[in-house]
Amino acid sequence: MAANKLKIGILINDYRIPLWEYRMVQNILASDHSEVALIVRKKSMAGTNKDGKLKTLWKVRNSLLYFLHGKLENKLFKPRPNAFQAKDLKELIECPEIVVSPKETKFSDIIGAEDISKIREHNIDVFIRFGFRILRGEILKSSKFGVWSYHHGDNDINRGGPPGVWEVYEGWHNTGAVLQILTEDLDGGLTLAKTRASTDSVSINRNKNNYYWSATSLITRKLAELHKKGGTVFMDEVLRDNAKPQIYYNRLFVAPTNGEALKALLKIYTGVFKGWVKRIFFFNQWILMYSFEKKEQLSKSFFRFKRIVPPKDRFWADPFIFEKDGKYYVFFEELIYKNGLGNISVLELDEKGNYSEPKIVLEKDYHLSYPFLIEDNGNLYMIPETAENKQIELYKCDQLPLKWSLEKVLMKDVQAVDTTIISHENTYWLFCNIKENEGSSTSNELFLFYADNLVTNNWTPHPKNPIVSDVSSSRPAGKIFEYNGHLIRPSQNCAKHYGHGMQLQMIKVLTKEDYQEINLQSIYPNWEKDLVSTHTINQTGKLTVIDALVKRRK
């Protein structure tokens, strides 16, 4: 496409829009690929709804408990930043406005021919739908690349609404969002992008806030892609990706009835009460587990693993291994609860199960975890998680295992977690999870960068970023390893809760233009009754180590 910016139109009901939409417009205005060229506003119907409180309550009588629960949530759960805080769009933009009075059917808005003619004069590339109801008619064809709209729900399993509610009420692990190009077929829009976040087990407000923020970047990413690739290539890929049939097999979701809400709330708050009681007598603690094999291979039967349990005042997690001269050094995150900050410690482990007292090797005034290890040009390096310091730091081992010094800051001004690097086909590939929007989670999206050297701050972002946008398989869970000729990327499954389980992802394509992976296996903490989670796996030589969250008596 030409260097000219994409001309974006915004469809609104009112200039007062929620903060997540406001941030999206900010990102568009700050971009080098798009500009807002037109506002299409639905004519205000203020004053036409004069229902009093009693009449409103009567209208929602069949869902009154859900309605009242929402009022209670607004008092109890106030996430920050609040994705739904009202902001005035006029603070951001000045551009032409067209006010329309669409024909209204029961559920749809149809903009008339005269207004469509005025809209087309502005030669809009993409319309973004912030307002209106279900759009039908010529407005869907009034811009070059259609009307882009969010469906806040995973439309493979959840169509209808209200958004973010049934996922909590029914205990689904994932809450999804989809960006689509609208078509006349209500459920047949062309999917542009998807994301999946972890469902909050208690609060609808927190759940909605998290996944609305997580989805906010989808539009600006796709606009950048459209601008870079050009319309023909972009749309050809969209049509190709939407070629397979998408059959929806669940019911159409509507507001929960009183009975459905009562059943769900009893289950939710019974679980909250049980959790509170458990915390009186028990606490959860990360421990290390290990297994030695006779040959240099991955240990695959977790029920055979032996435990290394820390004192009750701390936890040990994120183990990585370095082996030299037959000695195995296990580096890991050690967090003493009263201090609240993780540091990196090491212990030495032999094949008989003897291990040394842990010693601190790296300690800062910010949190450290996930001590990823990599050898390069005869040197040993560590990349601990330093998201709290908003950069990715590379440390060089000066004397094994205790002395380390900062060698290079690989990236600055980034909230990245669990950085994992692999050298493959003369290129260094850096994987990490990044939280782009405050209010979302660091567990949702995996980004990829590449460079010619390890010790550099010149990392190029992959054009497919984020290469994974799914809380069940994005976050790294250990070093990438080769198995039977294939690259295997361990990932965390944080859908049920943070670090619940692991996935083994086979990397199918790893180039500077493309990235593809498929799931080989899911791993859950089911081999012993006291296990709650497992979220890191590493193997070097004969030793395999994992971590596990266990329930212990106080």
Q: How confident is the model at residue 101 (pLDDT cuts 50, 70, 90)?
A: very high
CA atoms within 13 Å, Cβ hemisphere of 14: 9
Do residues 435 and 494 share a domain? yes
Q: Is the pLDDT of residue 186 over 90?
A: no
Residue 405 placed within a domain: yes
- The CA distance from 512 to 172, in Å, is 36
Q: How confident is the model at residue 1 (pLDDT cuts 50, 70, 90)?
A: very low
Residue 266 placed within a domain: no
pLDDT at 61: 85
Range with the poorest average pLDDT among 43-52, 96-105, 494-503: 43-52
Q: Is 301 exposed, middle or buried (0-12, 13-18, 19+ CB in 10 A)?
A: exposed
Residue 542 placed within a domain: yes
Q: Is the pLDDT of residue 2 over 60?
A: no
- The CA distance from 170 to 154, in Å, is 14
Domain boundary among 256, 286, 314: 256
In the predicted model, what is the mean pLDDT of residues 104-127? 95
Q: Is the pLDDT of residue 109 over 60?
A: yes
- The CA distance from 242 to 255, in Å, is 30
Do residues 235 and 301 share a domain? no
Q: How confident is the model at residue 3 (pLDDT cuts 50, 70, 90)?
A: low
Instruction: For residue 398, count other CB atoms closer than 10 A to its CB.
Output: 12
DSSP class of residue 329?
E
pLDDT at 76: 87
pLDDT at 244: 87
Do residues 252 and 279 share a domain? no
Do residues 404 and 489 share a domain? yes
pLDDT digits (tens, 9 = 90+) for 220-262: 999 999 999 999 999 999 999 999 888 889 999 999 999 999 9
Q: Which CATH number characterizes residue 96's domain?
A: 3.40.50.170
Do residues 291 and 335 share a domain? yes
- The CA distance from 201 to 156, in Å, is 21
pLDDT at 45: 63
SS3 120: helix
Give me Rg for the CA atoms of the chain.
Answer: 26
pLDDT digits (tens, 9 = 90+) for 246-302: 888 999 999 999 999 999 999 999 999 999 999 999 999 999 999 999 999 999 999
Q: Is the pLDDT of residue 111 over 80?
A: yes
* Residue partners of 328: CB distance under 8 A and separation at least 6: 321, 322, 348, 349, 350, 540, 541, 543
Largest CA distance in the chain: 83
pLDDT digits (tens, 9 = 90+) for 469-479: 999 999 999 99
Do residues 300 and 231 share a domain? no
In the predicted model, what is the mean pLDDT of residues 507-512? 98
Do residues 85 and 227 share a domain? yes
DSSP class of residue 462?
P
Do residues 157 and 184 share a domain? yes
pLDDT digits (tens, 9 = 90+) for 541-554: 999 999 999 999 99
- Where is pLDDT greater, at 451 or 186? 451
Q: Which CATH number characterizes residue 473's domain?
A: 2.115.10.20
pLDDT at 49: 54
Residue 463 placed within a domain: yes
DSSP class of residue 208?
H
Give me the residues paired with residue 434 across strands: 416
pLDDT digits (tens, 9 = 90+) for 345-385: 999 999 999 999 999 999 999 999 999 999 999 999 999 99
Residue 264 placed within a domain: no
Nearest to 118 by CA among 135, 96, 134, 140: 96
In the predicted model, what is the mean pLDDT of residues 57-81? 88
In the predicted model, what is the mean pLDDT of residues 33-44? 95
Domain boundary among 196, 225, 256: 256
In the predicted model, what is the mean pLDDT of residues 400-405? 98
Residue 268 placed within a domain: no
For residue 238, the surrounding DSSP H or E stretch is helix 231-241
Q: Are 287 and 548 in contact (CB under 8 A)?
A: yes
Q: Residue 11: give the domain boundaries.
A: 6-44+51-256
The amino acid present at 465, given as its one-letter code, is N
Q: Is the pLDDT of residue 48 over 70?
A: no
DSSP class of residue 367?
-
pLDDT digits (tens, 9 = 90+) for 127-137: 999 999 999 99
Domain boundary among 224, 256, 288: 256
- The CA distance from 136 to 505, in Å, is 41
Q: Where are the beta strands (DSSP E) in 16-113?
A: 16-18, 34-42, 86-88, 97-100, 103-104, 108-110
- Number of separate domains in the chain: 2
Do residues 283 and 252 share a domain? no
Q: Is the pLDDT of residue 47 over 60?
A: no
* Residue partners of 313: CB distance under 8 A and separation at least 6: 336, 337, 338
Do residues 409 and 540 share a domain? yes
Average pLDDT in the chain: 95
Q: Is the pLDDT of residue 187 over 80?
A: no
The C-alpha angle 9, 217, 180, rounded to 5 degrees, equals 60
Do residues 383 and 439 share a domain? yes
Q: How confident is the model at residue 53 (pLDDT cuts 50, 70, 90)?
A: confident
In the predicted model, what is the mean pLDDT of residues 435-455? 95
Give me the residues paired with residue 9 across strands: 38, 127
- Where is pLDDT greater, at 404 or 187? 404
Residue 1 placed within a domain: no
Is the pTM here over 0.85, yes or no?
yes
- The CA distance from 435 to 212, in Å, is 13
- Could you tell me where the DSSP H helices lie in 31-150? 53-59, 64-76, 113-120
pLDDT at 56: 74
Do residues 215 and 310 share a domain? no
Residue 262 placed within a domain: no
- Can you list the pairs that 503-510 forms with residues at least 24 positions away whose Cβ atoms lie under 8 Å? 503/472, 503/473, 503/477, 505/473, 507/480, 510/424, 510/425, 510/429
